[in-house]
Structure 1
Amino acid sequence: MNVIEVKDLRKEFTSYSSRSGLKGAFRDLFTRNYKILRAVDDISLQVKQGEMVGYIGENGAGKSTTIKMLTGILTPTSGEVMVNGMNPHKEREKFVQTIGVVFGQRSQLWWDIAVQESFRLLKKVYKVSDEDYDTHMKEVIETLEIGPLLDKPVRKLSLGQRMRCELAAALIHNPPLLFLDEPTIGLDVLVKMKIRGFLKEINRKYKTTILLTTHDLADIEALCERVVLLDEGSIIYDGRLDELQKNWVEGKQVHFEFQHAVEKSQLEEVSTHFDVKWRCGERENQWIAMIDGDDDAISKLMSQVMLHHSISDVKINRVSTEEIIRNIYEEGINHG
Structure 2
Amino acid sequence: MATGQKLLSFLLLQLILVLLVSDLSNAEGLKLGYYYKTCPKAESIIRKTTYRFISRAPTLAAPLLRMHFHDCFVRGCDGSVLLNSTKNSQSEKAAIPNLSLRGFHVIDAVKSAVEEACPGVVSCADIVALVARDSVSMIYGPFWEVPLGRRDGRVSLLSEAFANLPSPFANITTLKQMFAVKGLSLKDLAVLSGGHTIGTSHCNAFTNRLYNFTGKGDTDPSMDPNYIVKLKQKCKPADTTTLVEMDPGSFKTFDEDYFTLVDKRRGLFQSDAALLNDEETKAYVILQSSTHGATFGKDFAESMVKMGRVGVLTGHQGEIRKHCAVVN
Q: Does TM-score exceed 0.5, indicating one fold?
A: no
Structure in which a larger fraction of residues adopt helix: 2
Q: Which structure has more RCO (C-alpha within 8 Å, separation ≥ 6)?
A: 2
**Normalization by structure 1: what TM-score?**
0.21
Specify the structure having the higher radius of gyration (Cα): 1
Structure in which a larger fraction of residues adopt strand: 1
